[in-house]
Chain A
Amino acid sequence: MFTSILKEHKGFGKQIFLLAKNELIKTYKGAVIGPFWAVVKPAFTVFVYWFAFSVGIKALKAVNVHLNGMEHKAFSIDFFTFMFVGIIPWFFIQDSIVQGAKTLRTNRQFITKVKFPVSTILTYTGLSRLFVHLFLVIIMYGYVIFFRVSNGNPPFDWYDLQFFFYCPLLFFFFLALSWSTAPMSAFSKDFESLIVSIMSGVFWLSGIMYDSYSFSGGLKWAMLFNPINFFANGYRNCFLYHRGFWVYKTELIIFAAELIGVTLLGIFNYNRLRKKLPDVL
Chain B
Amino acid sequence: MAEPIITFKDVSKTYILYKNDQARFKALFIKPKNPKTNRALNKVSFEIQRGESVGIVGDNGAGKSTLLKMITGVAFPDEGDIVVNGKVAALLELTAGFSMEMTGRENIYLKGYILGLEDEYIKQIEESIIEFAELGDYIDQPVRTYSSGMKMRLGFAINVNIEPDVLVVDEALAVGDASFKRKCKDKIKEIIGAGTTVLYVSHNADSVKEICPRAIYLRKGTVIFDGPTDETLKVYHDYKESQKKKK
Contacts and interface: CB of A to CB of B under 8 A. Distances in A.
Interface string B61-103: 0000000010011111000000000001010010011111110
The 10 A-B residue pairs with the shortest CB-CB distance, nearest first, are A113-B96, A114-B97, A115-B73, A275-B76, A22-B101, A188-B25, A190-B25, A113-B97, A278-B75, A25-B101
Given A11-B113, A14-B113, A278-B69, 12 more contacts: A18-B102, A109-B97, A112-B74, A112-B96, A113-B97, A114-B96, A115-B72, A115-B73, A190-B25, A275-B76, A278-B74, A279-B15
A147 interface: no
A4 to B, nearest CB: 12
6 contacts: A15-B110, A22-B101, A115-B74, A115-B88, A187-B28, A190-B22
Band of interface residues on A: 20 to 34
A111 B111 CA distance: 14
A19 B99 contact: yes
Interface of A: 11-12, 14-15, 18-19, 22-23, 25-26, 29, 109-117, 184, 187-191, 275, 278-280
B183 interface: no
Contacts of B100: 26
A15 B113 contact: yes
A191 B21 CA distance: 10
A25 B145 CA distance: 14
A184 B74 contact: no
Task: Identify which of B69, B93, B97 gathers the most chain A CB atoms within 10 Å of its CB.
Answer: B97
Contacts of B90: 114
A190 B73 CA distance: 28
B28 A188 contact: yes
Nearest to B110: A15
B225 interface: no
A110 to B, nearest CB: 6
B146 interface: no
A159 B110 CA distance: 41
A29 B100 CA distance: 13
Contacts of B25: 187-188, 190-191
Contacts of A22: 99, 101-102
Contact of A190 (B21, B106, B114): B21
Nearest to B144: A26
Contacts of A109: 96-98
Given A15-B109, A114-B114, A278-B74, A188 B21 contact: yes
B24 interface: yes
Nearest to A117: B114
Contacts of B93: 113
Contacts of B72: 114-115
Contact of B110 (A18, A190, A191): A18
Given A11-B113, A26-B100, A188-B25, A279 B106 contact: no
Contact of A18 (B24, B75, B96, B106): B106
B74 A188 contact: no
Nearest to A188: B25
B1 to A, nearest CB: 28
Nearest to B13: A279
